[in-house]
């Protein structure tokens, strides 16, 4: 069967076009205690080998392996090698050095006998268990070698990476500056949270949500507040976006009479790249350029805004940070039957639980109305359905975007 032609841009193409249009932001140096979540702007190379010399992995006695191949055997204790200390000289046959975890293995020895397999009597050490040659010794450079590149450009730094950089004797890192992103909520019906609500007034949920999304992606939101649906007001607000790295508008991205983003910014020279994406929730999603400034117009329905933020703002911020686009999905088992999909890639709010055997089970919620933010907050993942995906039975494998394991904080 021939598929109907879609006039909409596929999600992946939109993500790629957005990311490719971004010019990476500048670079700064930060100390390790400010490096969490930042994105590396250069490869990081070890300035030391770890461990610098062979060390013991256990508490016990450093010996010549040949001496402990038949037991019991009695060796003479000739010294001590704690972490941070060392035993001078070369250990000879029949001798043992008391050693502790991290202690440098003395010259002449190659094996560590566990202390629980020995008995100390004065300066005599009776070994009760055969120990294989080389056991419990960490070779110099076991973890990494001086000069080895272990962290690469574009990596978003985790706590594990910060620990590794410290171990590599690298006290500060060259990272991308945090992209500054202007956020403008639009709509004459909007008031700020905590403001005077009423029959014709609703609270601006998207402004705070997008600021939080941006922070979770490592960007810095610059709030431009709320603009009424009025060309002059929108143009005025847009002027304040100058000098930022990206201008995000929320709402008014469609082509209704009150959807004025394209009209208002068009009069200021907005060059539109595309304004429709084959996505649900979403679809009216505008991407263009106002002079040098990239502009991304998200739809106003809060669930659409947040799902589009995850995909398209994420792509923009990755582009600004000089990172390749990440594939956000993993696989889970579908918890209920689904009908065939239509032309738009669907992101369905879903419950996510573990089945008895530990596999992830994702069950799309019955109602997927894009105004319902409570169900987005309560859901554990989005089930992703490609355009024209066939009907599926419960038990099929589906791609999901899990929450709480993806970008921190989303
Ligand atoms: P729009 O995209 O401007 O046509 O808005 C679509 C729907 O989302 C309308 O019901 C708006 O009232 C609502 N909406 C728009 N912007 C926001 C916002 N910032 N916060 C909450 N709801 C919004
Ligand atoms: Mg509106």
Summarised one tens digit per residue, pLDDT across range 315-352 is 999 999 999 998 889 999 999 999 999 999 999 999 99
Of the candidates 263, 271, 397, which has an alpha carbon nearest to the alpha carbon of residue 335?
Answer: 397
- Please tell me the predicted confidence (pLDDT) of residue 189: 97
pLDDT tens digits for range 167-214: 999 999 999 999 999 999 999 999 999 999 999 999 999 999 999 999
pLDDT tens digits for range 2-26: 444 446 899 999 999 999 999 999 9
- Give the fold, CATH level 3, of 330-402: Beta-clip (2.40.340)
Strands 345-354 and 381-385 turn out to be antiparallel
The predicted model gives 49-53 an average pLDDT of 97
Measure 260 CA to ligand 1 centroid, in angstroms: 13
Superfamily name and number for 27-50+143-176 = Molybdopterin biosynthesis moea protein, domain 2 (3.90.105.10)
Give the DSSP H or E segment for 280: strand 279-280
- Please tell me the predicted confidence (pLDDT) of residue 347: 98
CB 49 within 8 A of CB 141: yes
Closest atom of ligand 1 to 229 CA is: 3
For the chain, the structural domain boundaries read: 11-25+178-320, 27-50+143-176, 55-138, 330-402
- Please tell me the predicted confidence (pLDDT) of residue 405: 54
Residues in the chain: 410
Is any ligand 1 atom within 6 A of the Cβ of residue 297?
A: no
Nearest CA owner, ligand 1 atom 7: 301
Same fold, 11-25+178-320 and 55-138: no
Measure 251 CA to ligand 2 centroid, in angstroms: 5
What percent of the chain shows pLDDT beyond 90?
94
Q: Which tokens hold the place of 313? A: 């703002």
Is any ligand 1 atom within 6 A of the Cβ of residue 190?
A: yes
Q: How does DSSP classify residue 89?
A: S
**What is the 3 state secondary structure string of 283-352?**
CEEEEEEECCEEEEEECCCHHHHHHHHHHHHHHHHHHHCCCCCCCCCEEEEECCCECCCCCCEEEEEEEE
Nearest CA owner, ligand 1 atom 4: 252
Q: Which tokens hold the place of 277? A: 């994406």
Name the CATH code of domain 11-25+178-320 (choices 1.10.15.40, 3.40.1260.10, 3.40.980.10, 3.40.50.2300). 3.40.980.10
Is any ligand 1 atom within 6 A of the Cβ of residue 205?
A: yes
- Please tell me the predicted confidence (pLDDT) of residue 407: 47
Strands 172-176 and 73-81 turn out to be unpaired
Q: Which CATH code is given to the segment(s) 55-138?
A: 2.170.190.11
Mean pLDDT of the chain: 95
- Please tell me the predicted confidence (pLDDT) of residue 5: 46
Q: Measuring CA to CA, how many Å separate 49 from each of 83, 140, 144, 148, 294?
A: 16, 7, 6, 9, 45
Sheet containing 118-121: order of strands: 111-114, 60-63, 95-99, 73-81, 124-127, 118-121
pLDDT tens digits for range 375-400: 999 999 999 999 999 999 999 999 99
- The structure tokens 């019955």 sit at 366
Name, in order, each residue with C-beta under 8 angstroms of 139's C-beta and a sequence gap of 6 or more.
Answer: 54
Q: Give rounded-to-5 percent helix, strand, coil for the chain.
A: 20, 35, 45
Beta bridge partners of 255: none
Is any ligand 1 atom within 6 A of the Cβ of residue 62?
A: no
| DSSP reduced 3-state for 121 | strand
Is any ligand 1 atom within 6 A of the Cβ of residue 387?
A: no
Of the candidates 321, 281, 325, 320, which has an alpha carbon nearest to the alpha carbon of residue 299?
Answer: 281
pLDDT-based confidence at 406, cuts 50/70/90?
very low
pLDDT-based confidence at 133, cuts 50/70/90?
very high
């Amino acid at each position: 069967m021939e598929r109907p032609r879609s006039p909409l841009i596929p999600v992946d193409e939109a993500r790629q076009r957005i990311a490719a249009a971004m010019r990476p932001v500048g670079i700064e140096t930060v100390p390790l205690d400010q490096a969490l979540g930042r994105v590396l702007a250069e490869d990081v190379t070890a300035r030391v080998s770890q461990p610098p010399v062979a060390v013991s992995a256990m508490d016990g006695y450093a010996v010549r392996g040949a001496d402990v191949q038949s037991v019991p055997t009695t060796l003479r204790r000739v010294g001590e090698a704690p972490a941070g200390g060392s035993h001078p000289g070369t250990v000879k046959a029949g001798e043992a050095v008391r050693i502790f975890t991290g202690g440098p293995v003395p010259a002449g020895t190659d094996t560590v006998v566990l202390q629980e397999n020995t008995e100390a009597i004065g300066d005599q050490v009776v070994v009760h268990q055969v120990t294989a040659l080389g056991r419990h010794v960490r070779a110099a450079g076991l973890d990494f070698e001086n000069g080895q590149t272990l962290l690469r450009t574009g990596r978003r730094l985790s706590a594990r990476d910060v620990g590794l950089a410290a171990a590599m004797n690298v006290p500060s890192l060259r990272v991308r500056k945090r992209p500054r992103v202007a956020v403008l909520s639009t709509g004459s019906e909007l008031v700020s949270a905590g403001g005077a609500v009423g029959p014709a007034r609703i609270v601006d949920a998207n402004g705070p949500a997008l600021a939080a999304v941006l922070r979770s992606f490592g960007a810095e939101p610059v709030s431009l507040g709320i603009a009424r649906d009025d060309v002059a007001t929108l143009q005025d607000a847009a002027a304040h976006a100058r000098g930022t790295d990206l201008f995000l508008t929320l709402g008014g991205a469609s082509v209704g009479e009150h959807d004025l983003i394209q009209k208002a910014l068009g009069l200021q020279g907005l060059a539109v790249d595309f304004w429709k994406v084959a996505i649900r929730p979403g679809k009216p999603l505008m991407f263009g350029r106002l002079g040098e400034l990239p502009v991304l117009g998200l739809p106003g329905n809060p669930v659409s805004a947040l799902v589009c933020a995850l995909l398209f703002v994420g792509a923009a911020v990755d582009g600004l940070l000089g990172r390749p686009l990440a594939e956000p999905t993993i696989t889970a088992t579908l918890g209920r039957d689904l009908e065939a999909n239509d032309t738009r890639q669907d992101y369905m709010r879903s419950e996510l639980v573990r089945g008895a055997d530990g596999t992830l089970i994702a069950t799309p919620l019955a109602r997927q109305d894009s105004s319902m933010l409570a169900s987005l907050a309560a859901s554990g993942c989005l089930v992703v359905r490609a355009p024209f995906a066939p009907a599926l039975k419960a038990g099929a494998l589906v791609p999901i975007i899990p929450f709480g394991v993806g970008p921190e904080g989303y």
